């Protein structure tokens, strides 16, 4: 058994999971030299919600963040998370936009792109897989792990085999809600090792308190790479702590080769960052607690906080337990989508509406209808005809790959943003988040010309941090 490789998530998922993605590039750069020398397999540094957060809250150009990290981490592989045909947004984009985004991600410094689809529909991953390989990136195709009557070990093994045939160079088990139990992980990894030839990478969290055990059993079954987060932003809704796993494996056949003393220097630094995030109200002790609701209701940590927020806004905080009980029912009605962006938001919001109105599907969101009509892709299992009839009536259902219905968009986008775009990267920023991009470009232009940026305050989405 070769040494286990570690991907460190402190620069992306750790602070996304625990602190609303509020770590700034200025807090990352001073420690990059030490991060670069530890001996990690890779650093997850971009993608996920970082693109949105840079524009919305931090007044940063996400592309410039990537370029700075690439320069500061010359010896490290940089990895990102990509939502397949959704890229880093919340809808499907045309194939030409997906292709250009993958091209520029690699060009600006990304080595490995982890590609997933919320419904595990390989059709929604195909273009990103092909484009990443075409432009010289490494494809890590992810299976979004969940549990249901259809999501068996056989289901995930067959999906992994299909993704390898599509061009995956690494297979990731993406356990976003910490639902993968240790002995199931052992079985799944063992079966995958028999059926696929590429390396296996496990991504889990510690929401339900089982992440460390899940990592260990997966490693014993032959998992090649695991995700961890340095302890100041590790555990809880984040990944299991890096230091704990490195210490556990030291001196064994799985020894990571990483020095605990070197990790401690990083820990000391990131403790100060975590203190700042906590002082500014972005890091709560709540995210560090073990939450068994994750196992009972399959609700990821981020989705749980969204549900609490929605109920609070409607003066219905006392209905949380009812909503948590409704979530699995809605999920079953919709064909058992895994609860990950954007399906987690869709299922959660519909569960809130069902409980608050006192009648199931009395009010139905357009996103819930879209999921049943096939706008997001093929559902894991066909919903019951009665549910389809109740929610969408006789509306036409999409059976093709949803992006096949989208005409090429790049040329139109270039024209729409010509006044402000200074690069192809700007065009893609506008494609993903038009309402955030325009105010950002205005502020950038004003700053370059020495104009008082506050003239753009009204349409600025940036909040003080």
How is 245-280 classified by DSSP, letter by letter?
Answer: HHHHHTTSTT-----HHHHHHHHHHHHHHHHHHHHT
Element (H, E) at 82: strand 78-82
Contact 143, 172 (CB under 8 A): yes
Dmax (CA) for the chain in angstroms is 64
Q: Which two tokens stand for residue 207?
A: 């929401």
How is 153-198 classified by DSSP, letter by letter?
Answer: HHHHHHHHHHHHHHT-SEEEEE-TTS---HHHHHHHHHHHHHH--S
Q: What is the CA radius of gyration of the chain?
A: 22
Alpha helices in 57-181 (DSSP H): 62-72, 95-107, 126-134, 153-166
CA end-to-end distance (rounded Å), the chain: 46
Q: In a structure prediction context, what are the per-residue pLDDT tens digits for the chain, which is 465 residues long? A: 569 999 999 999 999 988 889 999 999 999 999 999 999 999 999 999 999 999 999 999 999 999 999 999 999 999 999 999 999 998 999 999 999 999 999 999 999 999 999 999 999 999 999 999 999 999 999 999 999 999 999 999 999 999 999 999 999 999 999 999 999 999 999 999 999 999 999 999 999 999 999 999 999 999 999 999 999 999 998 999 999 999 999 999 999 999 999 999 999 999 999 999 999 988 877 677 888 878 888 887 667 777 887 888 889 989 999 999 999 999 999 999 999 888 988 999 999 999 999 999 999 999 999 999 999 999 999 998 999 999 999 999 999 999 999 999 999 999 999 999 999 999 999 999 999 999 999 999 888 877 654 433 433 333 322
CA distance 234 to 231: 4
Q: What's residue 458's pLDDT?
A: 38
Q: pTM, whole model, 2 decimals?
A: 0.94
| Helix-, strand-, coil-residue percentages of the chain, each rounded to 5 | 55, 10, 40
Q: What's residue 296's pLDDT?
A: 85
Closest CA to 125 of 379, 337, 381, 401: 401
Q: What's residue 105's pLDDT?
A: 98
Q: What's residue 98's pLDDT?
A: 98
Phi, psi dihedrals of residue 271, rounded to the nearest 5°:
-60, -40
CA distance 63 to 67: 6
Q: Give 391-395's long-range contacts (Cβ < 8 A, gap of 24+).
A: 391/361, 391/364, 395/369
CA–centroid distance for 261 within its chain? 30
10 Å Cβ neighbour count for 383? 18
Q: What's residue 293's pLDDT?
A: 78
Phi, psi dihedrals of residue 79, rounded to the nearest 5°:
-120, 150
CA distance 68 to 46: 12
CA distance 110 to 131: 13
For 24, 85, 101, 445, 463, the CA distances from 420, given in Å and listed in that order, are 24, 26, 19, 8, 22
Contact 55, 313 (CB under 8 A): no
Closest CA to 294 of 206, 367, 400, 411: 206
10 Å Cβ neighbour count for 70? 17
Q: What's residue 75's pLDDT?
A: 97
Q: What's residue 455's pLDDT?
A: 39
CA distance 135 to 142: 19
Q: What's residue 82's pLDDT?
A: 97
Q: What's residue 410's pLDDT?
A: 97
Closest CA to 240 of 4, 2, 437, 8: 8
Can the peptide bond before residue 34 be classed as cis, meaning omega within 30 degrees of 0? no
CA distance 84 to 48: 11
């Amino acid at each position: 058994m070769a040494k286990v490789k570690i991907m460190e998530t402190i620069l992306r998922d750790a602070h996304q999971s625990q602190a609303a993605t509020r770590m700034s590039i200025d807090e990352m750069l001073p420690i990059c030299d030490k991060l670069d020398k530890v001996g990690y397999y890779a650093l997850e540094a971009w993608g996920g919600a970082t693109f949105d957060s840079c524009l919305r809250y931090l007044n940063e150009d996400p592309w410039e963040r990537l370029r700075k990290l690439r320069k500061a981490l010359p010896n490290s592989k940089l990895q990102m998370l990509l939502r397949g045909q959704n890229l880093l947004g919340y809808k499907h984009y045309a194939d030409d936009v997906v292709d250009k985004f993958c091209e520029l991600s690699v060009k600006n410094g990304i080595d490995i792109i982890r590609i997933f689809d919320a419904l595990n529909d390989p059709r929604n991953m195909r273009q990103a897989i092909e484009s990443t390989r075409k432009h010289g990136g490494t494809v890590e195709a992810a299976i979004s792990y969940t549990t249901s009557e259809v999501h068996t070990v056989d289901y995930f093994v067959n999906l992994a085999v299909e993704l390898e045939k599509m061009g995956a160079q690494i297979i990731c088990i993406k356990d976003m809600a910490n639902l993968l139990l240790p002995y199931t992980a052992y079985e799944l990894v063992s079966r995958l090792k028999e059926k696929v030839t590429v390396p296996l990478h496990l991504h889990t969290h510690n929401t339900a308190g089982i992440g460390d055990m899940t990592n260990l059993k997966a490693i014993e079954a032959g998992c090649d790479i695991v995700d961890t987060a340095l302890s100041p932003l590790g555990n809880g809704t984040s990944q299991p702590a890096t230091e704990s796993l490195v210490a556990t494996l030291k001196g064994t056949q799985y020894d990571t080769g990483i020095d605990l003393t070197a990790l401690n220097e990083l820990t000391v630094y990131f403790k100060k960052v975590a203190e700042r995030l906590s002082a500014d109200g972005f890091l709560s002790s709540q995210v560090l607690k073990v939450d068994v609701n994750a196992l009972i209701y399959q609700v990821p940590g981020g989705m749980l906080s969204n549900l609490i927020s929605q109920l609070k806004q409607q003066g219905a905080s006392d209905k949380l337990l009812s909503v948590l009980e409704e979530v699995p029912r809605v999920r079953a009605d919709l064909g058992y989508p895994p609860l990950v962006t954007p399906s987690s938001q869709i299922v959660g919001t519909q569960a809130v509406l069902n409980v608050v109105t006192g009648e199931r599907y009395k009010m139905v969101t357009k996103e819930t209808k879209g999921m049943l009509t096939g706008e997001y892709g093929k559902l894991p299992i066909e919903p019951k005809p009665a549910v389809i009839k109740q929610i969408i009536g006789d509306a036409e259902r999409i059976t093709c790959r949803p992006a096949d219905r989208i005409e090429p968009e790049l040329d139109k986008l270039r024209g729409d943003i010509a006044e402000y775009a200074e690069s192809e990267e700007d065009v893609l920023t506008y494609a993903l988040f038009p309402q955030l991009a325009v105010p950002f470009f205005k502020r950038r232009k004003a700053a370059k010309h020495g104009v008082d940026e506050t003239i753009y305050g009204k349409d600025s989405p940036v909040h003080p941090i």
